Each structure stands twice: as structure tokens, then as C-alpha cells.
Amino acid sequence: MNKLQKIAELSKKASRILSTTSPKIKSNIIKYAAKQIKKDVTKIENANRKDLKIAKSKGLDDAMIDRLLLDKSRINAISKSLNEISKWPDPVGKIINKWKRPNGLEIQKISVPIGVLLVIYESRPNVTTDASALCLKSGNSVILKCGSESLNSSKALLTCIHAGLKKYKLPTSCVELLASSNRKSVSSLLKMDDYIDVVIPRGGKSLIKAISKISKIPVLKHLDGICHTYVDDTSNLSMARKVVLNAKMRRTGICGATETLLLKDDIHVNDAVCIIHDLIDAGCEVRGDEYIAKYVLDPYYNKIKKANSKDWQTEYLAPIISIKAVKNVKEAIQHINQYGSNHTDAIITSNKKNAELFLKEVDSAIVMHNTSTQFADGGEFGMGAEIGISTGKLHARGPVGADQLTTFKYVVKGQGQLRS
């Protein structure tokens, strides 16, 4: 048995222990880890500085550097997130549904852990703790494969998770971190369907496609976030300006950032000008179609680049936005369903009928009305944290929190019934 197979086997054994661990113990482990993270802030910062130094020497872009950064504020936010997860109701053992058959059989549909998860991610060290806590809460063991650029930070955070497991006498194999940067290691794990139940990749489209192609294990996909905001002609201008600016510029490197802005083509010229000027003033590069130029005057006119069809399909993860004029809400919906990534899309409007049509017909995991797409986040949904935003349609969709990391089984109770 090789080292990787041994890790997978130990994770399988750990998952059976976790599946019967009490809700109180699981919550206490997570709370202890949160406390340890606050205690180890300096150690975590030092480890992160090593990662940042290596990342910069390799020429990683600003979006990747931003995702990698752990300062005191972000470390405290990680600790807070874990405390929130610890307080959530246990997702295991819930009676999802129950009924009684005419023959007296009582049937219950009950939530249970999935088993062993393999979480593969790039750059973001906070995924180490979010994934660990969510898996522990839902009674799953997890094998973590972080990007090489976040290895030192992830190891420092994992030490805190392991401290919690040791405190409550659970095996550290409940949460394993694969330290190898060898891609063959991941390829080998993706074939171990006897041990691993689900793969959750977080990263670029190329990573997820590669994993989906070679995996023998079901993949819960977190594809790119080509998110849209559509501003209708009935929208409140003050609201629209603030929401669009936040949706694009609050943090440009996250998957919930708006990448394409759609404007109703007969929106009041002054309204369109204000929205576009706000973006340019905030340092955002604007790429517009042929209609957008008519809204903008000097000195802003020369700052607008011409958009092409590739722009509608691009997740920039940078201060860049593509802007297109559309005839009506139906054309906005058509554009989103054609070019979007089924992640998160929003409409800004005072027209209830248009809002309802948009929310019903846009085929995305998250649809929003009069708010920023940057709320596409498990923490903002009250889940404490998330492993990712699932853009697929099977098992889980949208933010993947502890509840989404369970499956179910049927419990059938009888009094000696025989089938005729």
C-alpha cells in the first residue's frame, strides 16, 4: 500500500468515527480550533508572508495575491467564521421527510454524512479552515489539496484544526493536508473511488475541467463566476449606482464580482453616464459595445475600450467590466443564459413584473433583486462559511455549506410485515 492509499484509507476509517460523533463534540472541536487560530495569529501571519514572497517572485497576478493574503483582519474573520459554524444546528440525523404506508410501515428520510471528501483548491488559505470546519460539522472526513502557493499558510491553519481534534481525542486523519505539489498525486487520488466519495475542486475552469475528465469520483463543480448585473430603466438611480459599484469594485478578485453590466438601451442618459463614470473614477476599465459610447462624454469617452464577443465570456477577476445595452429584460435574460456561468446574476429594478421574470428565467444558482452580486457567499447567507459555490444542478447548488455536505438514507420500521 502506497502513502496516498494509506492516507485515503485512514480518512475512510476517520469518516466512520466522525459519522457517529456527537454534535456537541463536533462543535467543540471547531470552537477550539477558532480559539487556537486567534492565539496563533503571529505564526499564521509569518507563514503567510513566506507564501506571499514566493508568489510575488513567481509573478502571480494581483487577484491571486489578494486571495492569498492573510492579515490580522482576515485571520480574525476566519476565527469568527469557525465560531459561527460551531453554533449552527447539526445537519446530521435530520428527519427530512416521513410517512406511513397503508400496511403500517413507517418510512423516514434522514440526513447522513457523505463520507470522505477530497477538496482541491488554489491560492485561498481560508478554504483550509472553511472546508475543515464544514466537513467536521457534517460528519465527513476530508483530504485537502491546496495550491503550492498557499502551502505554508494552510499548514499553519491546519495545526489549529488538529489541535481541536487532539483535544477531543479524535484522529487527525479526520482532516488531512496533501503536502505534495506533484500533480500525479492528485491524479492518483482521483481514481480512489473505493475510499473517496466526492471531489470538490475550487479554481479556474481549466483545473475543474481537468479534474472532471480524469476523476472516477463524482465531482461537485465550482466553475468560474461570470456574474451579471442588469439595470432596468425603472431602477432607482442612487441605488443602482451604489449596487453596481459594490458589485464590481468591492473585491474584484472573487467569483461573486460582477463582470458584465447590462443596461436597458433607453435608460435615461444621465443615469447611464453616472453609473459608467462611477466605475471609471473608481479605477475600473470599461469595455463597452457600440451603444455605450453614446452615453459618455469627454474626458471619459477615450477611456472606454470596445468590447468584443470574448468579453461576454470572460471572468476578469480584475478591475475590468464589460457593458452592453439590451432592449428589455427578456434580452438581458437571453444574454445571461447564453454567456453566463450559472453562478450569480442580479437585476436592479422597481418593476415587480420584470424582477419576477428575471428571477424565474435566469438559469443560475443564485439570482438577486436590488442587491450586489458580491453577497454570493455562504457566510453572507448565514451558513457561517462555504466550501464553494456549486454551479451544477445535481446534489447541491449555490453556496455549499454543512447542510449541502450531507446525503440521506431511508429508515423503514415495521411490525413483521411481509410482502405478498
Q: Residues 328-339: pLDDT tens digits?
A: 999 999 999 999
pLDDT surpassing 80 at residue 297: no
Average pLDDT, stretch 346-365?
A: 97
The percent of residues above 70 in pLDDT, for the chain, comes to 99
Could you tell me the three cell numbers for 298? Answer: 469627454
Q: Is residue 382 part of a domain?
A: no
> Average pLDDT of 400-407?
93
pLDDT of residue 419: 94
Structural domain contains residue 142: yes
Q: What is the pLDDT of residues 14-31, one digit of tens each?
A: 999 999 999 999 999 999
Q: Which of 205-219, 223-237, 345-359 has the highest mean pLDDT?
A: 345-359
In a domain, 387, yes or no: no
**CA neighbours closer than 13 Å in the CB half-sphere of residue 179:** 6
Lowest mean pLDDT among 92-101, 194-203, 239-248: 194-203
* Within-domain flag for 380: no
Q: How far is CA 262 from CA 96, 221, 267, 314, in A?
A: 40, 26, 11, 15
Q: Rounded to a whole number, what is the distance in angstroms from the first to the last CA of the chain?
A: 48
| Residue at 389 is within a domain | no
Domain of 249 in residue numbering reads as 227-375
Residue 298 — pLDDT band, cuts 50, 70, 90? low
In a domain, 44, yes or no: yes
pLDDT given at position 303: 85
* Same domain? 216 vs 88: yes
CATH of the domain at 90: 3.40.605.10
The answer on 214 and 65 residing in a single domain is yes
**What is the DSSP pairing of strand 285-288 with strand 304-306?**
parallel
Contact between 7 and 100 (Cβ < 8 Å): no
In the predicted model, what is the mean pLDDT of residues 371-394? 87
Q: Are residues 350 and 244 in the same domain?
A: yes
**Is residue 328 included in any domain, yes or no?**
yes
Together in a domain, 260 and 325: yes
Q: What phi and psi, each to the nearest 5 degrees, are found at residue 135?
A: -70, -45
Per-residue confidence (pLDDT) for residue 292, from 0 to 100 = 83
Q: Can you give the pTM of this predicted structure?
A: 0.85
- Predicted pLDDT of residue 224: 83
Considering the domain architecture, whether residues 188 and 264 belong to the same structural domain is answered as: no
Whether 140 and 257 share a structural domain: no
pLDDT tens digits along 128-175 = 999 999 999 999 999 999 988 899 999 999 999 999 999 999 999 999
Please check the confidence at residue 216 and state whether its pLDDT lies above 70: yes
Between 137 and 121, the higher pLDDT residue: 137
- Which runs of consecutive H residues, i.e. helices, occur in 20-150? 23-39, 41-57, 62-68, 72-87, 126-137
The answer, yes or no, to whether residue 87 has pLDDT greater than 90, is yes
Same-domain check for residues 255 and 338: yes
Same domain, 75 and 174: yes
Read off φ and ψ for residue 312, nearest 5 degrees. -70, -15
Residues 46 and 90 in one domain: yes
CB 325 within 8 A of CB 265: yes
Both 214 and 276 in one domain: the answer is no
pLDDT band at 180 (very low <50, low <70, confident <90, very high): confident
Q: Tell me if the bond preceding 299 is cis, omega within 30° of 0.
A: yes
The pLDDT score that the predictor gives to residue 1 is 60
Residue 55, C-alpha cell as written in the block: 508568489
Claim to verify: residue 262 and residue 194 sit in the same structural domain: no
Rounded Cα distance, 106 and 159, in Å: 45
Regarding whether 155 and 40 lie in a shared domain, the answer is yes
Q: Answer whether residue 301 is part of any domain.
A: yes
Residue 223 has pLDDT above 90, yes or no: no
Q: Is the per-residue pLDDT at 197 higher than 90?
A: yes
Number of folded domains that form the chain? 2
